[in-house]
Amino acid sequence: MNILDQIIENKRGEVVAAKSTRSLNELQDSEFFERETFSLKKSLTERSGIIAEFKRQSPSKGIINDHSAVLDVARSYEKSGASGISLLTDHHFFGGSPSDILSVRNEITIPILRKDFMIDEYQFHEAKALGADVVLLIAACLTASQVQEFTDLSHSLGLEVLLEIHTEEELAHFNSNIDLVGINNRNLKDFKVDLQHSVTLKNQLPAGILTVAESGIYSVEDFKFLKQKGFDGFLMGEYFMKNENPGKVFQEFISKISM
């Protein structure tokens, strides 16, 4: 069983537990459920194009940052020009929590991506109730029909969808209702990074689709390479979070890519 399989197996148990704790009706009665969401598609074109991530740990890297406060980092990211904030809500493998979104929702005015392993309808209602604007659909753990179903559900809730792919086979998960396509430079099964592979996949998507380069962007050179190849957005977390002051490093990165 690879790490992705382990994550999905654990996620099924988490969803069952969440359903027993808070019903759909309770989610729909929450403070943020009726709020008008922010558009990541729009923000990518108006700001830096970077979806800056708050990330405490990962299965491949272990502890990345266990001292920074999510609200401080999110505020710094926004101030320096982030197009959006990515918040991991998986606890067991990534050290995140749904409460991370709740804690920053009223404090920033750019889109929040709920980054998790979305496998059940309940999670989409939960994302809306938390105050998320965008949800991640990972092709590697969904069928093409599930992607279509979850995309329609997300849109009915006012949420945008970022579909993540990594292989040519996963291109078949794309449908015309998808808002953005993320191409993961890191293979979720063995964690190897290959930027050129992502460019090859991008070139097989229909023209006009907003694309986001995800993971494995470790330098200004990586960013500029992917930008030159036509990517519209860049999901980055570890590059900033591995430092004592992620917000400061993000600000410095923005200055470098603007030169």
Lowest mean pLDDT among 69-78, 102-111, 190-199, 219-228: 190-199
Q: Where are the domains of the chain?
A: 3-257
255 contact partners, CB below 8 Å, separation of at least 6: none
Contact 79, 53 (CB under 8 A): no
Between CA 10 and CA 167 the distance in angstroms is 24
pLDDT of 191 over the 80 cut: no
38: left (phi over 0), alpha (psi -120 to 50) or beta: beta
Between CA 98 and CA 112 the distance in angstroms is 12
Kindly report whether the global pTM for this prediction surpasses the value 0.85.
Answer: yes
Between CA 253 and CA 183 the distance in angstroms is 21
95: left (phi over 0), alpha (psi -120 to 50) or beta: left
Between CA 51 and CA 64 the distance in angstroms is 18
Q: Which residue has the tokens 């405490």?
A: 56
Between CA 139 and CA 205 the distance in angstroms is 15
Main-chain dihedrals φ then ψ at residue 98, nearest 5 degrees: -55, -30
N-terminal to C-terminal alpha carbon distance within the chain? 45
Q: Alpha helix (H) ranges present in the chain?
A: 3-21, 24-28, 40-46, 70-79, 98-104, 121-130, 144-156, 195-202, 220-228, 238-241, 246-257
CATH topology of domain 3-257: TIM Barrel (3.20.20)
Over the chain, what is the mean pLDDT? 95
What pLDDT does 194 receive? 83
Q: Which residue has the tokens 């794309």?
A: 174
pLDDT digits (tens, 9 = 90+) for 165-184: 999 999 999 999 999 999 99
pLDDT digits (tens, 9 = 90+) for 61-115: 899 999 999 999 999 999 999 999 999 999 999 999 999 999 999 999 999 999 9
pLDDT of 188 over the 70 cut: no
What pLDDT does 159 receive? 98
Between CA 70 and CA 83 the distance in angstroms is 17
59 contact partners, CB below 8 Å, separation of at least 6: 3, 7, 93, 94
12 contact partners, CB below 8 Å, separation of at least 6: 119, 120
Two structure tokens written together for 97: 């929590």
114 contact partners, CB below 8 Å, separation of at least 6: 87, 89, 101, 127, 130, 132, 134, 135, 136
With 0-12 / 13-18 / 19 or more C-beta atoms within 10 angstroms meaning exposed / middle / buried, residue 124 is buried
